Structure 1
């Protein structure tokens, strides 16, 4: 039973006033430990029959008359009630005048925060009462879409890591492979032992500047013709038909593919009809597949090709020119990705024959070569399995490091992998139609990928569509999104508004605050007023995992498990300016 501290003197809807019996010190000692006296954002309770009404302190008033203090009054706001040891948010019951008000005891706190949970995640402590730990029901937090927002240095990376570390610990204790998460690491911060021991996770260090990076296994058949159309930003009327044609033949079965003679005839046609740009580009990029084409040169004045082996020249009018054409040979590419770019050249040639100018088609060839070159550096397309777990390599955690890939691939890689995971989970349920596995997709610094702005490219629109689909439909398939960002105002409104749980650290930009105000229906103005003054590590948590908005101090993750996102320290222990100078 909590200590009685006063009584109700006024009830007006949700607004309640209670007069304190006496002015209390900041802390009260009980059984060798202390607890907080009533303070702003703290909680009090009042009984109505067998039920307990929970109120939050939103104001304090000192009653004075002729300069003499006659009493102290607390302004309260009703938050819900406890019935049968369960906290229920709502207004079914209100306090009654003259009823006593008491401090909450440990049982009351458990009823509010733990919700009779079998397993909880230890996030931190109540910001206004550090003796009260906040343990969240894992069933209400992990299988949900989560957003962690806050300015640089506010502690959002620590909060995200804390959630993931606690979740990983529970997965290990349960000895199960039915819960996994994949982290898209934009700045290579989750390396080594970040979150957990390095041996417990699969890390892919991707690079597009060279071929020295790791490669993520991905089934090539997961790429549809629509993926290629969007990724290459193809124009609808002139370029899309060529891509669809190339995709059709590149991914056709062996018995349905075209004969080698078709391609040789097309090359001969390019030479005899003086398709200079197309032939030269094809010869440059497809040189590994053709032989005996190096000696064909273009005569600028005559506007046609001739054969020059360094000893003699054979012009198109000469009958020997056809002999040289017939000497061209071809080894068809085997790998689907190589076959696609190969087929694209001939699809472009076909469109040109149909009257489409090459000036409209050649930019497509350049984009395709760049895109597929990057694909080969970051993906391993040799696998033929649709199993989403291959990427985890028999572990429960996967980290995709994107710090050394170019901007386009930073968006494409998470989109393709997330889409594959979603599609795989949507098709995998047990005989009863129930979820057999959950996978959380974690995106740190999400504003780099999930931004929404006018005039964005078709490929970026496709990226947003993938994640918007996950946040709208993923719950019923066991696919969940967890993101962190310092700029919520940049992120798609659809994604922000569909999140279930929010951890909101300090925000000062008016656009960011307004975005949160519009998206988070659970937050009242009292909570919003605190966003600009929160200290590092402090946040407001709200959502389906919490009975009411709660002010929380998130416990710092152990040093060895922190991401590489700490503030630079110039002096003191291991300070930057007291170390030996670097070689210049």
Structure 2
């Protein structure tokens, strides 16, 4: 039982034109105890074709230019609307897609609110509801089983409510499912602005927080149970030639093979007790006793002596100089070091033999090994000093920041439901490096442990994703940028097979790699006004219809278009705001309170 409001007068492809009765212009109608919405843009109507109800969405309306004059002289215009079929009802279930088309003279009816709710799937009345449909004001439960089994994109200009949507999604998930998830899934947030370090999404007892800072910082009093100032990275992940080559922007032909020799040498002998100290002593002797010594090795040895804090060796090396005429080192202008090793054994060997490298951390070990490798290569004639020396400087400069935020070893903190890595206090270079290392850390670890089909899942959440997934950065080496994007592209292209899923939120989707955006399955699109962003959305998301796309620039705060593989049709939702204590730390400044007159 419903209200007939018109009939079909034209069908052109998938465009249906209807002549609408005059009484259908009312905003709300009541009939038989049911509530109906009048015919207007983005409303749904039912066209009866035999025993089937074909559901159409209204996309436009106009008045026919022809007019009819009644006997009383009153002029009336014919109201027409354009509609597009979106599906049909079959045994009380809505089926999305165009299977049946109406014919001319088929009657059109208004839809009850409960029928509209059924259009958006069997989850419409479910418990996983983050908001209500904007126009219909109907609560809609999202299909969480499909949603979190996919890659998710949340886009919107600053202040449009995307952080609230991201937080609402995962807050509701943890409220409903945290007790059942246990250790079956791991959730990791790369938090560039420190918005999720308190009680957002989940209680502090279920959260591990890393407050990483390239400056001096004490995170005491942050209000969470587990706070770490350094991220724990496995040794195997750090001592990786590919990672180090990209980390220090090593050139392809000379510097990358140099790093490979460092890693390979360590792999062969690292298990031996005191292997680095033995290696250091050997290279010191080679530098002084080679058949053809190299002047550049003296500065390298002095760097090593300072790094291992061997004061006696530092003082001894100060007394040694290079004699360009003899192409030899000499001490105090009296004794030359030659290949027979007598002078070396007399003056330096007793001091060098006291070298102890057991207290060096992984960062200092890398610098020492790089200097030792260069000494050996120079003596052997493998490389030119000026080709490798810039790499050593980059290693030293980069490690000064990395040692503040990374701890290399095997010890890992206890796994909790949610891990938040705050990069708010890191410099721009460290943010990109750490994001890559942390993403690789969790993804590779997950791939090694997962079975087929996956019994565990990994969910990586990247807020403000344009910081690390942008193709527009011109301040970094092209090879490094390509590698960084390739790592995340691999995760988003291949991760589903291993139960690894990515959620990205960004103000500028056009800056993000098109490969990454095109691989996302579901979207929550808040207000976007930039033409490049809108062009990307229009050409990437195949499930977004033109009517919903046209709404995006004018969406109000907290309102978003929801579309994707998990949804039969695009929806416009007004996301419910979170409680003040659970909102991300991204709210606007209240200038009225900030600038209030204290004497008022």
Instruction: Give how far 1:473 is off.
Output: 0.8
Pairwise mapping of residues 260-271 of structure 1 onto structure 2 (< 5 A)?
260-270=277-287
Aligned to 2:424: 403
TM-score by length of 1: 0.88
Aligned to 1:351: 377
For 1:516 and 1:259, how far apart are their aligned partners in 2?
54
**Which runs of 5 or more residues in structure 1 are unaligned?**
308-312, 385-389
Which deviates the most, 268-277 or 177-186?
268-277
For 2:24 and 2:252, how far apart are their aligned partners in 1?
74
Aligned to 1:505: 526
Alignment of 1:418 with 2:458, yes or no, is no
> Which of the residues 390, 413, 432 maps onto 1:363?
390
TM-score by length of 2: 0.86
Residue deviations 1:526-580 (CA, integer Å, cap 9, x gap): 3322222222222222111211222222221221111111122211xxx211287
**Which runs of 5 or more residues in structure 2 are unaligned?**
69-73, 219-227
Q: 1:344 to 1:100 in 2, by over 3 A?
A: same
Instruction: Give how far 1:470 is off.
Output: 0.9
Aligned to 1:310: none
Residue deviations 1:40-78 (CA, integer Å, cap 9, x gap): 112222233454322111112234616822442221111
Alignment of 1:519 with 2:540, yes or no, is yes
For 1:316 and 1:54, how far apart are their aligned partners in 2?
99
For 2:153 and 2:542, how far apart are their aligned partners in 1?
14
Q: Is the 8 A contact 1:201 1:395 kept in 2?
A: yes
Where 1:160 maps in the other structure, the secondary structure is: helix
For 2:3 and 2:26, how far apart are their aligned partners in 1?
14
Aligned to 1:113: 120
Aligned to 2:28: 27
> Which of the residues 501, 509, 513 maps onto 1:488?
509
Q: Is the 8 A contact 2:329 2:336 kept in 1?
A: no
Q: 1:515 to 1:245 in 2, by over 3 A?
A: same
Alignment of 1:83 with 2:90, yes or no, is yes
Q: Is the 8 A contact 1:147 1:502 kept in 2?
A: yes
For 1:240 and 1:218, how far apart are their aligned partners in 2?
22
Q: 1:32 to 1:185 in 2, by over 3 A?
A: farther
Alignment of 1:435 with 2:454, yes or no, is yes
> Which of the residues 162, 187, 193 maps onto 2:193?
187
Task: Compare CA radii of gyration and give the structure with the larger one.
Answer: 2
For 2:217 and 2:259, how far apart are their aligned partners in 1?
26
Q: 1:96 to 1:233 in 2, by over 3 A?
A: same
Q: 1:259 to 1:471 in 2, by over 3 A?
A: closer
Q: 1:49 to 1:419 in 2, by over 3 A?
A: farther
Where 2:142 maps in the other structure, the secondary structure is: strand
Q: Is the 8 A contact 1:80 1:87 kept in 2?
A: yes
Aligned to 1:141: 147
Instruction: Give how far 1:256 is off.
Output: 9.6
Which deviates the most, 517-526 or 110-119?
110-119
For 1:316 and 1:31, how far apart are their aligned partners in 2?
112
Instruction: Give how far 1:299 is off.
Output: 7.3
Alignment of 1:45 with 2:26, yes or no, is no
Residue deviations 1:315-365 (CA, integer Å, cap 9, x gap): 443876752311223113465554333222111222223242222212211
Alignment of 1:72 with 2:72, yes or no, is no
Aligned residues between the structures: 563
Aligned to 1:166: 172
For 2:425 and 2:27, how far apart are their aligned partners in 1?
52
Q: Is the 8 A contact 1:114 1:135 kept in 2?
A: no
Aligned to 2:37: 36
For 2:121 and 2:311, how far apart are their aligned partners in 1?
68
Aligned to 2:249: 233
Aligned to 1:220: 235
